[in-house]
Amino acid sequence: MTRLAGKRIIVTAGPTLEAIDPVRFLSNRSSGKQGYLIAEALAQRGADVCLVSGPVCLPCPFGVTRIEVESARDMLAAVEAELPADVFIAVAAVADWRPAQARARKAEKSALETSLHLVENPDILRTIATRQAGRPDLVIGFAAETHDVAGRARAKRLRKGCDWIIANDVSGDVMGGDENAAWLISDHEEIAWSRTQKAEIAARLAGRIEAALCAL
Ligand code: C5P
């Protein structure tokens, strides 16, 4: 299977970690599993895959180039440095906010209680999807939702400016687990993938990407 040979694909995966001080941080429960499996499935099909990963406990998939980052700002810089690409897939659970200032020294608890100011992180998916020059041909986002999954994902696809959005229902044990149920939503179709292994979701998505790139 080498139908993606010559295609360059950037995938973000895992959580981001936003430093409060040298010992504390803000982050989330993303395991990175789904993003890593997608990177692996694409590499198996011959793509040149760059995986920009937040901190996770997973080995780099065979045939994939991994760039390890911590914060959302580092993740965005790494993605931009790796462009141009044919496809960009934002699987990472990017922290929505970061402390306005990471402190150089461990902060007193009392100081944090009264003065932990948060600022919004850059939206990596939206930044890449709305680029004027050098936008990848296919930009894919993820939407992890606990309710009105498809409806919220449809709105998110438009808001982010991406071509496809993969909607997940994360109301159960999806985060950190090995299974996932998803919808692939584009401007002209919606495909439901009932609960199955994350590796199977990755394989189906890779197959769809292959078909889309061949049709371009
Ligand atoms: O807005 P929300 O976090 O629900 O959007 C999820 C999608 O946007 C995912 O594809 C995620 O990787 C991406 N995202 C991003 N940068 C952010 C927030 C989300 O790339 N700061």
121 lines ligand 1 (CB under 6 A): yes
Structure tokens belonging to residue 4: 């993606």
Say what the pTM is. Answer: 0.96
- Which residue, among 170, 139, 194, has the nearest Cα to 30 in the 3D structure? 170
CB 42 within 8 A of CB 49: yes
Q: Where exactly are the structural domains of the chain?
A: 8-215
User: Ligand 1 center to residue 17 CA distance, Å?
Assistant: 14
Q: What is the mean pLDDT of residues 185-210?
A: 95
Question: What share of the chain has pLDDT > 90, as a percent?
Answer: 82
| Cα three-residue angle 113-118-124, rounded to 5 degrees | 150
125 lines ligand 1 (CB under 6 A): yes
Residue 100 and residue 111: Cα distance in Å, rounded?
A: 14
User: Ligand 1 center to residue 150 CA distance, Å?
Assistant: 16
Structure tokens belonging to residue 43: 């590499």
Which runs of E-coded beta strand occur in 108-189?
Answer: 118-120, 138-145, 164-169, 179-185
CATH for 8-215 (1.10.1200.10, 3.40.50.10300, 1.10.10.60, 3.40.50.300): 3.40.50.10300
Reply yes or no on whether the pLDDT at 105 is more than 90. yes
Q: Is the peptide bond before 136 cis (omega within 30 degrees of 0)?
A: no
Question: What share of the chain has pLDDT > 70, as a percent?
Answer: 97
Q: How confident is the model at residue 181 (pLDDT cuts 50, 70, 90)?
A: confident
Q: Which numbered atom of ligand 1 lies nearest the CA of 165?
A: 10
User: Ligand 1 center to residue 1 CA distance, Å?
Assistant: 30
Task: Tell me whether strands 65-68 and 18-19 are parallel, antiparallel or unpaired.
Answer: unpaired
Which of 52, 53, 94 to probe ligand 1 with, by most ligand atoms within 8 A of CB?
94
pLDDT of residue 174: 62
32, 47, 79, 151 from 145: Cα distances, Å = 17, 29, 25, 10
